[in-house]
Amino acid sequence: MKQWSGYILTALSAIGFSTLGIFAKYAYMHEVTVTNMVAWRFLLSAVILWVIMLITRQKLPTVRDILWLALMGGVGYNLMATFFLNANRFASAGLVSAMLYTYPALVTLQVALLGWEKFTLMRMVSLAGAAAGTLLVALSGENEPGSTVYLGVFYGLAAAVVYSVYITLGSRVVERVPPLTSTTFVCTAGAVVQVIYASATGALVIPPAPARLMIAGQVVLATVLAILFFFAGVSRIGPSRAAIVSTLEPVSAALLGIILLGEVLTPRQVVGVVVVLASIALLQLEKSVIRDKKSAGEVAGGASI
């Protein structure tokens, strides 16, 4: 029963994260800028996460880890969120989410180049598959004059690149700091930097009433609840299985885009997205098998969102 609840919680987390782009698209209809949206999302999410931190009496990290988490949030997570939300201005929610989900393949390549992990045959196949699927998606708008698919793919991949570097460089820190604590500090740093930038550029304004509901949805469903459900899921089924279940996110984003926004994926885009997701699922499955071969007493800890 505990395992099943873990799968359900992780699936709900993936669905929650998948609503981020959907809420953004509705907010754009009310002329909300990306900078303003990111600033409010991080600020409100940080406040809620700090309340949870205080209620659960989480220990504070060391000064060194706080500084590193601040860098991760202020630069890395800020850039990733900005690129991702920009991508949703130019392409469908499912396509953008699939582009972001190439990040596990990029992380695999980075850790292999750094000599931290072996570059196995299955990982090579997964990386090649992710690249092929991305190429199919990128070429999907080549015969459509004025198509913005290229911009959506570009920003989506830029978000994936930044996120992969964020995960690779931050992996040592999140091993030492509990996930809720690290997420709170990352979000707080992101809020500080984004609010300062938005204020300096005149972008920080109170959004119109309909857009406030969309930003509230981003904060509650796509950030706080999604993160908490993911952590709860990981505690029950482990990070490897949770990572596999999380590949539901792009599928959920695509379905929500079709149902709520009337978005359409071309046959080539569908094939490309399926190839990307299959490649990432294969990669996560291989990592799960390797983890299962380790000693039964080994406990995997921490996850980065």
Task: Report the phi/psi class of residue 302: left, alpha or beta, with left for phi > 0 and alpha for psi in -120 to 50.
Answer: left
Is residue 304 included in any domain, yes or no? Answer: no
Is residue 21 included in any domain, yes or no? Answer: yes
| Residue the block writes with tokens 């988490």 | 69
Which pair of tokens denotes residue 10?
């992780």
Please report the pLDDT score of residue 147 as a whole number.
65
Is residue 99 included in any domain, yes or no? Answer: yes
Q: pLDDT digit of tens for each residue in the chain (305 aa)?
A: 668 888 899 999 999 999 999 999 999 999 999 999 999 999 999 999 999 999 999 999 999 999 999 999 999 999 999 999 999 999 999 899 999 988 888 888 888 888 887 878 888 888 888 888 887 877 765 445 456 888 999 999 999 999 999 888 887 787 788 889 999 999 999 999 999 999 999 999 999 999 999 999 999 999 999 999 998 888 888 777 787 888 889 989 999 999 999 988 888 888 888 888 888 888 877 766 555 444 333 333 333 34
Which pair of tokens denotes residue 158?
């830029």
Q: Cα 4 vs. chain centroid, distance in angstroms?
A: 23
Query: In 3D, which of 147, 71, 105 has the Cα closest to residue 247?
Result: 105
Is residue 148 included in any domain, yes or no? Answer: yes
Directed axis angle between helix 93-100 and helix 121-138, to 10°? Answer: 150
Q: Are 132 and 275 in contact (CB under 8 A)?
A: yes
| Residue the block writes with tokens 């600020």 | 43
Is residue 35 included in any domain, yes or no? Answer: yes
* SS3 at position 206: coil
pTM of the model: 0.87
Is residue 299 included in any domain, yes or no? Answer: no
Which pair of tokens denotes residue 100?
């972001």
* SS3 at position 102: coil
Number of domains in the chain: 1
The CA-based angle 103-162-197, given to 5 degrees, is 145
Query: In 3D, which of 200, 201, 177 has the Cα closest to residue 73?
Result: 177
Query: In 3D, which of 91, 84, 18, 21 has the Cα closest to residue 245?
Result: 18
Residues with Cβ < 8 Å from 76, sequence gap 6 or more? 162, 163, 165, 166, 169, 170
The number of beta carbons lying within 10 Å of the beta carbon of residue 82 is 21
Q: Are 54 and 177 in contact (CB under 8 A)?
A: no
Is residue 302 included in any domain, yes or no? Answer: no
Is residue 204 included in any domain, yes or no? Answer: yes
**Residue-number span of the structural domain to which 270 is assigned:** 2-292
